[in-house]
Amino acid sequence: MATDEPMMAGVAGRYAGALFELASAQNATAAVEADLVKFEQMLIESADLTSLVRSPVISADDQAKALGAILAKTGANPLTLNFFNVLARNRRLFAAPEMIRSFRLLAAKARGEVTAEVSSAVALTEAQVTELKQTLKASVGKDVTLDAKVDPSLLGGLIVKIGSRMIDSSLKTKLSSLKMVLQGSP
């Protein structure tokens, strides 16, 4: 799968691209994406799983067995199980989070969606999420999936990134700008 997108050019992109092609061919894209989202959440929540994935000391066989058992308990698609087995055997588990991100981008693109990374000082309500999605859809002309994160250092407002475009309406940035203006004036 040759591509001009920088996200797909590295090792993570190649693995994600191969998985996406296989999942598409087997009509399992949604199932595999759901498995990857679950695994990504498990990585966030479990320091032990993160250690297992990142450890160069644990053998590839032990990593493959452990991940196989974990994923089997979640009811993962056989394609997902095989994918993580290949990652473990090729000693590429460390790149799994980037592969998951790349796969999700490919799946969203295939659905005609774009993903917006949204950082806010507090968690957004459902009404705010809906309004933001509608506003962004009107702006970019495609359905928008939000990847929302909470960053209390923003103090208020939002930072929205879609591709190479960024909209920063955070209070932190506005205060920094005001500070610079005030420092520059006599």
Q: What is the pLDDT of residues 145-165, one digit of tens each?
A: 888 889 888 888 899 998 788
More confident: 2 or 133: 133
**Residue 185: predicted pLDDT:** 59
Q: What residue spans of 74-162 are helical by DSSP H?
A: 78-89, 96-110, 126-140
**Residue 4: predicted pLDDT:** 43
82: alpha, beta or left? (left if phi > 0; alpha if psi -120 to 50) = alpha
Q: What 3-state class would DSSP assign to 95?
A: helix
Percent of the chain scoring above 70 in pLDDT: 94
Q: What are residue 91's phi and psi, to 5 degrees?
A: 60, 45
pTM to 2 decimals? 0.69
Q: Are 35 and 72 in contact (CB under 8 A)?
A: no
Q: What is the pLDDT of residues 27-77, one digit of tens each?
A: 999 999 999 999 999 998 999 999 999 999 999 999 999 999 999 999 999
**Residue 112: predicted pLDDT:** 85
Using pLDDT thresholds of 50, 70 and 90, give the confidence band for residue 9: low
Using pLDDT thresholds of 50, 70 and 90, give the confidence band for residue 186: low
Write the DSSP assignment of 46-88 as a string of letters: -HHHHHHHH-SSS-HHHHHHHHHHHHHHTT--HHHHHHHHHHH
Cα–Cα distance for residue pair 184/58, rounded to 1 Å = 56
